[in-house]
Copies of this chain bind each other. A is one copy, B any other.
Amino acid sequence: MAHLPEDFGGIVPPLSTPFTPSFEVDVASLERLIEFQLAAGVHGIFVLGSTGEAAFLTDQQRATVIEVAVRTVGGQVPVLAGIFDMTTARVVEHAQTARRLGADALVLTAPFYTRISQSEISEHFWLVHVAVDLPLFAYDIPSAVSTKIARETMLRLAEDGVIRGIKDSSGDEANFRALLLALGGRADFSLFTGSELLVDAALLFGANGCVPGLGNIDPAGYMRLYQAAQAGDWQLARREQERLFRLFDIVSVGLPRMGIGSSAMGGFKTALKLRGVIATNITGRPSIQLNAEEVERVRQALITANLL
């Protein structure tokens, strides 16, 4: 177990969850993926996020992922775990499991399925905070949960010490910047952007780091981008980001044959397989799988990005 450093920041990829052909967690592949990330020097790993297909895993499979991650990381960097579910009682169960298995911090969204008010979102975070003694990151992702965590809600949760950081995947960069202006000066609070195509901008604004799905495939690229920004070399940061931006096209390789979710997960997993990190590019059911032509387009994109 690695306590979060007070100034926790940097590149924290949301790891894909590799599958076996029978849709079980491919433990050996997951271990290789984690080693691949650690070798690149990432500042933490985030398992069971949206990119990790948490929505597609049974509770047992989720537990396996955390176990493998905690064991493989071995305290070198913090392990963050997603505890996504509809409402409080279910989320608390996931939180307690993740804590027992050794996660260092937890990431949770607003409740979903049910239509919820901001005061109830706040209550949800409070109840999880009280129930489990681990740092919480609020994950704002209205595209998945249909509700935005309002700026005022975020700020109050941060002030009250209920959350220790934010992962912003809302796509609303102006609001993220407003959060940074209000909270960015706090030494013990970490704001991560999930906008993996605008990381140079987010770092210019003062973000502590990024949680890039594309970082699964090219953690070294995101590390270079981060280090350039740290060094104030914004043109270098921009060039690295632009290379990664173009590579990101692989997320739409399966459209419109399938949803954007399975296309993106399929694109990431295919790239990881082609780079020799994981064994299959299978995505969780009921996702449609990429076909040979789509796989070939991912291969070409990797070659263009100097990753193959």
Contact = CB atoms under 8 A, between A and B. Distances in A.
Interface of A: 23, 50, 55-59, 61, 84, 86-90, 93, 111-117, 119-121, 123-124, 126-127, 143-146, 171-174, 177-178, 181, 195, 197-198, 200-201, 204-205, 232, 234-235, 238, 242, 245-246, 256-262, 284-288
B201 A173 contact: yes
B89 A261 contact: no
Q: How many copies does the complex hold?
A: 4
Contact of A286 (B93, B127, B285): B127
A87 B259 CA distance: 13
Contacts of A234: 204, 232, 234
A114 B201 contact: no
A258 B119 contact: yes
Contacts of A287: 120
Given A181-B245, A201-B198, A204-B204, A89 B58 contact: yes
B204 A86 contact: no
A93 B234 CA distance: 46
B120 A259 contact: yes
B144 A58 contact: no
